Structure 1
Amino acid sequence: MSDVELPSWTAVHDAVAGLGLAVTPAELHGALSGWFAGGGADAPDWLAQVMADPDLPQVPRDTPLDTLRAASLSQLSDRGFGFELLLPAADATLGERSGALFDWCRGFLGAFGLASGANPPLSEEGSEALADIARLATATAQDDGDDDDEEALSEIEEFVRVAVLLIHGDCVLAPAHRQQFN
């Protein structure tokens, strides 16, 4: 497992609000994950790059957003597949949690495209996973549901988690591994 844990939803929410960003914590984490999965740099101005807004400030060290960056990078590279999605707690409503998951997917897509460019080096499975994340990004949150809906949401969350690891593997880990042998 990764040695860096994601900050809490509330800590990221408060940091996002403090900067006046018009994103949810889920969308920001999705964007940051998409940036890194697409090969984006871990740079001091990561927030400006990920949000495609050069006017955004650098994130100070040892803040919730810096912890979000460090945890995301660490978890994506974790050989134990310890990557997690920053989503509301289980006691949030089904609508809040499903909406956050779809926000996460929208954030991922935008920043992945910024980082990877027009032709990312995706395998067939990676391309299918990216297309599935794109479909989820267009979904609408459901206000209420039953146990079957709860189970379906859990399965979708796990699918997205694994899909992101696959995409990161195609775009970042595989090229780095090939470089080692050249």
Structure 2
Amino acid sequence: MAELPLIDEVAQASRRSGLAADPSELHGALCGWLSGGGENAANWPARVLADDSLPAPEPDSALDELRKASVAQLDDRGFGFELLLPEIDDSLNARADALFDWCRGFLGGFGLAAGANPPLSEEAEEALHDLARLAQAAPESSDDDEDEHALAEIEEFVRVAVLLLHGDCVLAPRHRQSLN
């Protein structure tokens, strides 16, 4: 199973490359791009962030590893896909904020790759709308166990929604192509 690089490594590599997105939002944008049918390209930041002036990540850098791991995880039939989010020891608000940033990034990347009318099932259409609602959310100050549980449930929902969208836009067309 391909492991995502550490969030701090992605943050440092992102700053060195002059990317304005934080690591969670950047990973969301990459996953949105890939889930919408965007090309798995070495110069992915330029495509995903719609800025042709951005450099391609160095081979085997944290940003290159982020791309490779994300592609492998999205294609993994064992549902091993993970979101790049802060560690559990960060505050609940910081983790919720990062999750909402991840969703905002995902929607941007997905829209760029999939276009205005992607071939979505009813379930995937609903999941996309739910992701859009999450992208508009903001965390409320709290640190109780109930909120911790709710955040874990939302993370799991996002993970499954992404796999559903990737399935409709990438895996289903790939499967149809192999049948022809």
TM category, shorter: over 0.9
- Counterpart selection for 1:65 from 60, 63, 66: 63
Matches within 5 A, 1:1-182: 3-182=1-180
Q: Greater CA deviation, 139-148 or 28-37?
A: 139-148
Q: What amino acid sits opposite 2:173 in the alignment? A: P
Query: What is the CA-CA distance between 1:144 and the residue it aligns to?
Result: 2.3
Aligned partner of residue 155 in structure 1, secondary structure: helix
| Runs of 4+, deviation exceeding 6 Å | none
Q: What amino acid sits opposite 2:135 in the alignment? A: A
Contact 1:35 1:112 in 2 (8 A): yes
Q: In the aligned structure 1, how far is the partner of 2:36 from the partner of 2:174? A: 13
Query: What is the CA-CA distance between 1:112 and the residue it aligns to?
Result: 0.2
Q: In the aligned structure 1, how far is the partner of 2:56 from the partner of 2:145? A: 43
Q: Deviations over 1:148-176 (max 9, x none)?
A: 00000000000000000000000000011
List runs of 5+ in structure 1 lacking aligned partners: none
Q: What number of residue pairs does the alignment pair up?
A: 180
Q: What amino acid sits opposite 2:128 in the alignment? A: L
Contact 1:27 1:106 in 2 (8 A): yes
Contact 2:34 2:110 in 1 (8 A): yes
Contact 1:94 1:142 in 2 (8 A): no
Q: Deviations over 1:50-75 (max 9, x none)?
A: 01000000111110000000000000
Contact 1:16 1:25 in 2 (8 A): yes
Q: Deviations over 1:21-61 (max 9, x none)?
A: 22110000000000000000011221100010000001111
Contact 1:34 1:109 in 2 (8 A): yes
